[in-house]
Structure 1
Amino acid sequence: MLGGLRSSAERHFLGRHRSGSVFSLRVSHSPPKRRASDRSFDLSVIIPVYNEEPNVRPLHARLHAVLGDIGRSYEIIFVDDGSKDGTFAALEELCAAHSTTRAVRLRMNRVQTAGLAAGFDHCQGEVIISMDGDLQHVPEEIPMFLAKMDEGFDVVTGWRHERRDNYWTRRLPSKIANWIMRKMSGVEIHDFGTTFRAYRQRVLSDVHLYGELHRFVPALLSGVGATIAEVRIANPDRGAGASNYGISRTFRVVLDILMVKYLISYSQRPLHLFGGLGMLFVFVGVVLGFYVLVMKILGNPQPLLNVTVLTWMVGLNMLTIGVLSEMILRSYYEGQDKKIYAVDSVIGGDVGPSSERGSNLIDRAVAGASN
């Protein structure tokens, strides 16, 4: 299933997704060490927030009560994604009053993916819970996620099986997008859109988030062998404030689905995709060109057909440029270790990101290859 090579500078190994595509992972042979001041926790809870001043205090109170009863060491990390209200002031109060609470403030509002990426980089828990800050994710359901994790799964994701959102603008587009994602990724979960999930820290070590790929982390992790389970969760109304999501997000999701399919199936063999499409369009172009030529000889030219062919070719070029741009962006962030967020300040607990991710999954793969 997995094979690997070890060198003095890095470890590199290949694997095969169940769809048949080959993927490659490269990890540092000698990862940077965690600072002496860093502590590890059993559990980290990450909450990206944006203009959630009315919700952060009640959410924190409920989290503090639930996590205190679990009997595991924990930390709560809020990531303020450039809020314009009093959200960060409320977080400062919470961090001053509770040693288990930390807050990361980003310089400007980006996307939810940036907030999650910042939380993943700064957390120190062996199990990581991600959730929204609008009270639509129920803190009291966290023990259910942990119980499922204790069965041996690497990822546990929520399923909002009884959503209360508007059917036409939220639920119907979500059903369509989830169906497409299941078919294209091969991951049989019902709800790719929720961020209420639990991860083992070690499986996140080689996930590089950018754009809006946070929705598809289970699909990306499935490609490196992570085991995934699903639990049903409630979907109450927002605690206060207005939703930061709109209908335009649906169209961006469709493009992200295409990108995830490419990353899973063709990232290591782009010529199979683009070469096959190129040959197909060349063949179609030759056939249509022959047809237009015959019609012209017979005195019945077809100008609209020429316009149609031109439109298809322009569309193909635009899609190709889009995918190539994504590849360049991915190489830029991963090759230079660039971040998709800029931190303004960190308060509470240990100030700084955890510099080492657990690599047990990678170690097992390399050890299995050496055996």
Structure 2
Amino acid sequence: MHTEPSVPPRPEISVVVPVYNEAPNLAPLAERLVAHLRPLGRSFEIVFVDDGSTDGSQELYAGLKERFPELRVVVFRRNFGQSAAMTAGFDHARGDVVVSMDGDLQNDPADIPRLVAKLEEGYDMVSGWRRDRKDPFLSRRLPSVLANRLIGWSTGVRLHDYGCSLKAYTRDVAKNLVLYGELHRFIPVLAHLYGARVAEVEVTHHPRRMGTSKYGIGRTYRVLLDLLLMLFFQKFATRPLQFFGLSGGLLFAAGVLVEGYLTWVKLWLGQDIGHRPLLLLGALLVITGLVLAGIGLLAELVVRTYYESSGRRIYTVRRVIE
């Protein structure tokens, strides 16, 4: 008699850990995760996402899997970046609660139960706050403080620590986060745009003892660019014509006023305007305004095509009461 293969039960908690060249930290991290998750009495899985490591990490996973049956490993063909690794982890996570964290042992697995408990108070995402952060001040902590304040002020999502990877999510939020580029830094903003209720709890942060950091002050410029993208997403993602049309209309109107003034100077005062830089400025404003309006129309068509062809909606539903 033919029997269907048994499907393993879905775990309650999934811990997603993107790793890249963290060979010395893999075994200690798995040991600490298991040590703090098993006493909870809840089923769990650990999902390592190897982002194309080249330090021998991939040779260690078979042995780790034998020691820790809760471990699952997703290995990339090459390095795609942390946002891609987190997306893959969320895609492969099977738990009702998804927890993300770094693989460098600076996040403390002992904080996971508190994050989960806070999440179960009715929040959709709980973000860690490294209040006593153990990183160099000038290269890591100072840029982070400035970035956190700028992001909170500009987006309205007030958190102390956007960059902490230790976060807990409901399954619904984790599965619907769309990360690309380097948007993993803006997960709280993306979750807020999705309609998630976001909370924050203090977590422990340890100094890095093994391996090397993949971050530096050089990423500050990329953070600013991503912040501009987030602001556009937050305000105009589904109505780009309002952004481009408004800015284009203002420039066009300014150009018309400039050219109107020069026309009055020419016709009524009889002055020569051919040598005036203002003439070129007015023409530039008019042309730029028309171009921006055209970009807005094209962007509107792209957005409509995207939503209609993909079947995605411009809203999310928390629940239906019948």
The TM-score range, normalised by the shorter chain, is 0.7 to 0.9
Higher helix share: 2
Shift in Å at residue 283 of structure 1? 2.6
Q: Does 1:229 align with 2:217?
A: no
Aligned partner of residue 231 in structure 2, secondary structure: helix
Whose strand proportion is higher, 1 or 2?
Answer: 1
8 Å contact from structure 1 (residues 164, 237) kept in 2: yes
Matched, 1:335 2:310: yes
Q: Which amino acid aligns with 2:58?
A: F
Q: CA deviation at 1:244?
A: 0.9
Q: TM-score, normalised by structure 1?
A: 0.71
**Unmatched tracts of structure 2, length 5 or more:** none
8 Å Cα contact 2:16-2:49 kept in structure 1: yes
1:185 deviates by 2.5
* Secondary structure in 2 matching 1:39: coil
- Mapping of residues 105-254 of structure 1, within 5 Å: 105-254=75-224
Q: Could you say which residue in structure 2 is the equivalent of 1:98?
A: 68
Distance 1:98 1:130 in 2: 18
Q: Displacement of 1:180 after TM fit?
A: 2.4
- Within the alignment, does 1:297 sit opposite 2:272 as a pair? yes
Alpha-carbon distance between aligned partners in 2 of 1:36 and 1:207, rounded to the nearest angstrom = 30
Could you tell me whether the CA contact under 8 Å between 2:19 and 2:103 is conserved in 1? yes
- Answering whether residue 29 of structure 2 is matched by residue 59 of structure 1, we say yes
- Under a length normalisation based on structure 2, what TM-score does the superposition of the two structures give? 0.81
Alignment correspondent of 1:18: none
Report the equivalent of 2:19. Answer: 49
For residue 168 of structure 1, give the secondary structure of its aligned residue in structure 2.
helix
Which blocks of at least 5 consecutive residues in structure 1 are unaligned?
1-34, 338-360
* SS in structure 2 of the partner of residue 189 of structure 1: coil
Higher relative contact order (CA 8 A, sep 6+): 1
**Equivalents in 1 of 2:311, 2:225: separation in Å?**
25
CA distances 1:65-103 after superposition (whole Å, capped 9, x unpaired) = 111112111111100000001111122210122210111
Distance 1:60 1:288, change over 3 A: farther
For 2:273 and 2:311, the matched residues in 1 are separated by 60
Which structure 2 residues correspond to residues 66-85 of structure 1 after superposition, within 5 A? 66-85=36-55
**Contact 1:76-1:102 within 8 A present in 2 as well:** yes
Cα separation, 2, equivalents of 1:72 and 1:244: 33
* Deviation of the 1:251 alpha carbon: 1.3
Which one is further off, 145-154 or 287-296? Answer: 287-296
Q: Distance in 1 between matches of 2:211 and 2:88?
A: 24
* Cα pair 2:91 2:175 within 8 Å, conserved: no
How far residue 336 of structure 1 moved from its aligned partner, in angstroms, is: 10
Structure 1 CA distance, aligned partners of 2:58 and 2:139?
31
- Alpha-carbon shift at residue 313 of structure 1 (Å): 5.3
CA distance, structure 2, for counterparts of residue 336 and residue 247 of structure 1? 40
The 1:140–1:336 alpha-carbon spacing in structure 2 relative to 1, beyond 3 Å, is same
Work out whether residues 30 and 68 of structure 2, in 8 Å CA contact, stay in contact via their aligned partners in 1.
Answer: no
Correspondence list, 1:253-332, <5 A: 253-288=223-258, 297=272, 301-302=276-277, 306=281, 331=306
CA RMSD of aligned residues (A): 3.4
| Secondary structure of the corresponding residue to residue 41 of structure 1 | coil
Distance 1:89 1:336 in 2: 41
- AA of the residue aligned to 1:335: S
**Structure 1 pair 276–38 and aligned structure 2 pair: CA distance change class (3 A):** farther
2:59 corresponds to 1:89:
yes
AA aligned opposite 1:50: Y
C-alpha distance in 1 between matches for 2:209 and 2:167: 20
Instruction: For 2:240 and 2:105, locate their aligned partners in 1 and report how far apart those are by CA, in whole Å.
Output: 42
Larger Rg: 2
Q: Is this contact kept in 1: 2:252–2:288, CA < 8 A?
A: no
**Residue identity opposite 1:166 in structure 2:** P
Structure 2 Cα separation of the partners of residues 107 and 208 of structure 1: 21
Q: 1:114 to 1:128 in 2, by over 3 A?
A: same
Structure 2 CA distance for partners of 1:286 and 1:165, relative to 1, 3 Å: farther
Structure 1 counterpart SS, 2:12: strand
What per-residue deviation string (whole Å, max 9, x for no partner) do you get for residues 326-366 of structure 1? x78x959x9399xxxxxxxxxxxxxxxxxxxxxxx8461xx
Aligned length: 302
Cα 1:313–1:92, aligned 2, differ >3 Å: closer, same or farther?
Answer: farther
| Aligned mates of 2:18, 2:214 — CA distance in 1 | 12
| AA at the equivalent of 1:230 | E
- Which stretch shifts more, 203-212 or 96-105? 203-212
* C-alpha distance 251-313 of structure 1, shift in aligned 2 (>3 A): farther
- The 1-side partners of 2:108 and 2:28 are apart by 11
- CA spacing shift, 1:336–1:299, aligned 2, 3 Å: closer
